[in-house]
Structure 1
Amino acid sequence: MSPSKFTVILIPDSDDRNRQFSVRYVWLWSLVLLVVLIIIGVIGFGIYSVPKLKDYQAMQEKYDKTATERVTVMNLMDDLQRMKYMDRQIRKSLGTDLALNQKTTDTEEMSQNIHLDNSENLPFSYVENVPSQIPVEGFVTQRMNTSAFSLDQNHYGIDIAAVEGEPVLASASGFVVFSDWTYDLGNVVILYHGDGYFTHYGHHQNNIKKQRDFVKRGDVIALVGSTGITTGPHLHFEIWKEGKVLDPLEFFDVSPQYHEQN
């Protein structure tokens, strides 16, 4: 007769009585079978799930790439609309007879045409037209960023945190080609300095200089504010030459208070 139970006897070192436990073989084999089934189930689930997980990861990477490309395209569209608007205003201010080509709205072409047609008649010298005056005292809170791989919108200049109402100074001699309000930069002043140089100043509390006004280096053109899309009072400052954006920090002998705030 085959045994029907499996017995375990525990014998302690002390004089205590022995303990024994009995388990029917049918329950023991049922437990073993259950463990085997669980192991098989885990292995099967892994075999089924790993390819699905890889497919999901591939789809997620594709989605992230598409989202990044979409953000980049939207940023470029915003930049293009801004350039078109600035282009029309600057051409109007300079009095050029150049018709806007609907197929070409490139800022570089616009700047080169302005330089060729108007530089000889400007009332300031070549030396004065190079931006060299720091426009406001404060801390640089954001540097220039024009990376095509950044998820953030391109930042074509620097942000200088300053006290609201502080004077904004012309970085070089020139004349005002744009003095108006825009959605993103609020109150904006753009100066043309000749030789293809433009400087942009944004987020003003209000603009002091008007379109077609002549200014000298160091003249007050506006007051620091927080108009447009901003989280606090600061100056957004850009330098362009012949349609190409330049890093303003390369133009100044930056003193300690202008280093990026930590």
Structure 2
Amino acid sequence: NQGTCKHGHRRLRIVTAPFARAEMVTLTEESPDGLVSNVKPAAEMSAAELEQLASDPRIRELQYKLRHGGEKFKLQVTNQKPQEIRAIHVPEDATPEQQHAALQEAMRQEQLNTQRSEEEERRRQREAHVKRMQRSDVWCYVVEGAGCSQLNGEYHRTGESVRNGARVYGGPDGFVMSREVISGGEGWIIGQAPRAFYAYQTKDTLAPESHWSVQEHGKEPSPTVKAVEPFEAVEAAKQAGNGAFKGADFAGAVEKYDEALSIA
């Protein structure tokens, strides 16, 4: 949307995703948020980025509309939900080059904002992982999707035994998930001693959810691993007991309630 504010500046409302990813450019009505802050100069964009930007038909259409005026319009080339950014202002008498530069700056700023948001999300995930590590004592692991289907299933604590700082978990057909230290490295292994099927090198005492590496006796794809904490196991058993009770399976309900009470 282009219009004129009381200070004699044309105002462009831009909705865009980072252009470097080539997802979309969307123009719509201006929001009351004001100017984009901390915008880097367009001169900082590389020659390849400038060439790519200038050749995009969406940008050419935008430039045409900026030069020739017109009513409010919206240009959206995407099947994704637009991500809003703040309005940008350009002088009423701005040249096409200045208008182009303002658009470049807005897109660069949006890319930086997205990067900062992604970094913040990664930081929150790391903090959540550390907090879970501090209080976690997994009741069981659920292994799914492994190319060696015989090892898929639930892995439960094998008594109170601890190996290299973590419990040992036994699964179907004699498979074991445990934390091992081998040749100076440490991490998790799923296998039947002495054969390793899948492994993940890490200092964490909580088994990873994904990205396990396939070992000599394993095969693609690698599994996904879900950790079930005691409180989650209690809730699942309780809900199963409630379901059995509603179905008049009283013996089954008692069994599930006893299971919930036995989890520690």
Shorter chain as denominator, the TM-score bin is: under 0.3
Higher relative contact order (CA 8 A, sep 6+): 1
Specify the structure having the higher radius of gyration (Cα). 1
Taking structure 2 as the reference length, the TM-score comes to 0.25
